Amino acid sequence: MNDKHYDVVIVGAGIFGMATAYHLKKENAQLSMLVVDKAAQAGAGNTAQSAAMYRDTFSSEVNLLLSSTTRDFFKYVQNDLEIDLSLRDITYLWLMDRLQFEKNKNAIEIMLENKVRIEILDKSDIKQKIPSLVTDFDDNEEAQLLNLKNIDYGLLGYDCGELDADKITRDFYEAEFKKMGGESLYNTTVTKLILEPKGEKLGIPGEPVGWQEKKIGGALTSNGDTIKSDCFIIATGAWANELLLPIGVNCHTMPIKKYLFRVQHSKLANFLDNIHFNGENTIPFFIFPVHGIHLKPVKYNNSIWIGGGSLIGKPYIMTKPEEITLEDNPLDDTQANDRDYEFDRYLILSEYLPILKDVPLTNSWGGFYAMNTIDKNPVVFKPKGIKGLQVVASGSGSGIMKADAIGRIASALFNNEEYAELFGGSKFKVSRLGLEKRDVDKEDFVI
């Protein structure tokens, strides 16, 4: 039983919750703060399930600012603070057919204007650098049945790569938060946010009723305790609706299941070894021209992680809060469906990369994108009409690569600042990621 009354309680110790905890405590050393998570440690939710890739190959100003400043901060942590994050610029290679390239020309122009370090490869460059990649399917009936697209161009992003999401979440954000006096409570599920009248309780049935001003009076936990705090910051990612919908708050987030498949074989060694792209002498992270299928090279153990794939026919999960029990929550399911590899990704990939034929599937896992249904960008807001509540959610499949900026914006919002200062000094108007004055420009670089 914890009787302490905190200034701030953050529910959710994923990368968003921990980046918020770190920046908020750093800005406000005097705050008493607690981070609560149902898992046994920080970063064990969808942060742990991710491929943990980062990129700056975006055309939208918001995407570019959030991702490039986050990457630069992570590099600062690794290079200047000397905390190993296993961060490596292995580069991204977006493979496109002629039509996709034409469609993306405007976005490419914008990237070049914004000094994003990219290079366009044509088909002969691609063939020369990656001889085992098949680029043309005009005479291949099977490939035509699979609706495969030819590879005519590649967009290579240089300042893009991978890091270890556990390390940034735990070894940096959590460790620093604790050094500053922040507390954590794991293996504890917040089961309900208690909505109360902001002023005196009047004893009316169903209090607080519509006209009463409201506040969050506490959070009930699976241990039977009530945590008390002046402010609750909800950073529960794909689970955000469970706590917010019952109190009438819509954070426009939809959980979408995503899988990663891992294949491994010594015969991949030659393919993974490549001198043309990065200092790691490996192939880039590939994005294929169909269904966003992507491939992450893991050279040290001759394996490849495969993600993406068509979402049509895959159910969205809208959990009904009253049906959720602690033992049986569909959003806790981390299983992948291996048939989706066997009858979908494998058939496609083994046409583009015949070297993958008969390479065994050695592992697979799943997780949920907390997908923002407005514009696929995070939401950082204080719900109107409820005192003591803030939401930091909707990583939308790019939460790792935007996390540091999101932590800074969440901290600025708590402090009622109009602008957050992102790493490197750029200013970001906090209301741009809110709901009322949201201002997220459209992303044009999509395949």
Ligand X SMILES: Cc1cc2nc3c(=O)[nH]c(=O)nc-3n(C[C@H](O)[C@H](O)[C@H](O)COP(=O)(O)OP(=O)(O)OC[C@H]3O[C@@H](n4cnc5c(N)ncnc54)[C@H](O)[C@@H]3O)c2cc1C
Q: Does 172 bind ligand X (CB under 6 A)?
A: no
Q: Between 92 and 271, whose beta carbon lies closer to ligand X?
A: 92
Q: Between 56 and 152, whose beta carbon lies closer to ligand X?
A: 56
Q: Which helix (H) or strand (E) holds 40?
A: none
Q: How many CB atoms lie within 10 A of CB 365?
A: 15
Site for ligand X in 310-369 (CB under 6 A): 367-369
Q: Does 173 bind ligand X (CB under 6 A)?
A: no
Q: Does 236 bind ligand X (CB under 6 A)?
A: yes
- Interface with ligand X (CB under 6 A), residue from 90, 168, 190, 435: 190
SS3 112: helix
Q: In whole angstroms, give the CA distance from residue 219 to residue 225.
A: 8
CB of 239 to ligand X, least distance (A): 4
Q: Between 143 and 401, whose beta carbon lies closer to ligand X?
A: 401
CB of 198 to ligand X, least distance (A): 24
* Per-residue mark of binding to ligand X, 54-93 (x: CB under 6 A): ----------------------------------------
> Positive or negative CA dihedral for 73, 435, 52, 442?
negative
CA-nearest of 340, 400, 329 to 365 is 340
Q: Which helix (H) or strand (E) holds 390?
A: strand 389-393
Q: Does 401 bind ligand X (CB under 6 A)?
A: yes
Q: In whole angstroms, give the CA distance from residue 155 to residue 67.
A: 18
Q: Between 12 and 388, whose beta carbon lies closer to ligand X?
A: 12
Q: Between 8 and 260, whose beta carbon lies closer to ligand X?
A: 260
Q: Between 290 and 306, whose beta carbon lies closer to ligand X?
A: 306
* Three-class secondary structure assignment of 322-371: HHCCCCCCHHHCCCCCCHHHHHHHHHHHHHHCHHHCCCCEEEEEEEEEEE
Q: In whole angstroms, give the CA distance from residue 61 to residue 233.
A: 26
CB of 200 to ligand X, least distance (A): 29
CB of 199 to ligand X, least distance (A): 28
Total residue count of the chain as it appears in this document? 447
- Interface with ligand X (CB under 6 A), residue from 49, 59, 91, 229: 49
Q: In whole angstroms, give the CA distance from residue 235 to residue 72.
A: 23
CA-nearest of 392, 297, 370, 400 to 74 is 400
Site stretch for ligand X (CB under 6 A), options 9-17, 56-64, 129-137, 309-317: 9-17
Site stretch for ligand X (CB under 6 A), options 5-13, 176-184, 246-254, 337-345: 5-13
Q: In sequence order, which residues have a C-beta less than 8 Å from that of residue 333 and are 6 or more positions away?
A: 257, 366
Contact between 45 and 14 (Cβ < 8 Å): yes
| Region at 107 (left for phi over 0; alpha for psi -120 to 50; beta for the rest) | alpha
Site stretch for ligand X (CB under 6 A), options 15-23, 89-97, 111-119, 210-218: 15-23
CB of 337 to ligand X, least distance (A): 13
Beta partners for residue 190, in sequence order: 221
Copy the structure tokens of residue 442.
Answer: 């459209």
Site for ligand X in 242-261 (CB under 6 A): 242-243, 258, 260
* Per-residue mark of binding to ligand X, 19-48 (x: CB under 6 A): -----------------xxxx----xxxx-
Q: Does 11 bind ligand X (CB under 6 A)?
A: yes
Copy the structure tokens of residue 67.
Answer: 């991702």
Site stretch for ligand X (CB under 6 A), options 144-152, 175-183, 206-214, 238-246: 238-246
Site stretch for ligand X (CB under 6 A), options 13-21, 86-94, 130-138, 197-205: 13-21
Q: How many residues lie near ligand X (CB under 6 A)?
A: 42
- Interface with ligand X (CB under 6 A), residue from 94, 153, 172, 239: 239
Q: Does 51 bind ligand X (CB under 6 A)?
A: yes
CB of 244 to ligand X, least distance (A): 10
Q: Does 399 bind ligand X (CB under 6 A)?
A: yes
Q: How many CB atoms lie within 10 A of CB 326?
A: 10
Q: In whole angstroms, give the CA distance from residue 131 to residue 83.
A: 37
Contact between 402 and 55 (Cβ < 8 Å): no
Contact between 296 and 162 (Cβ < 8 Å): yes
Judged by the rule CB under 6 A, the positions of this chain that interact with ligand X are 11-17, 36-39, 44-47, 49-53, 189-190, 235-239, 242-243, 258, 260, 367-370, 393, 395, 397-401
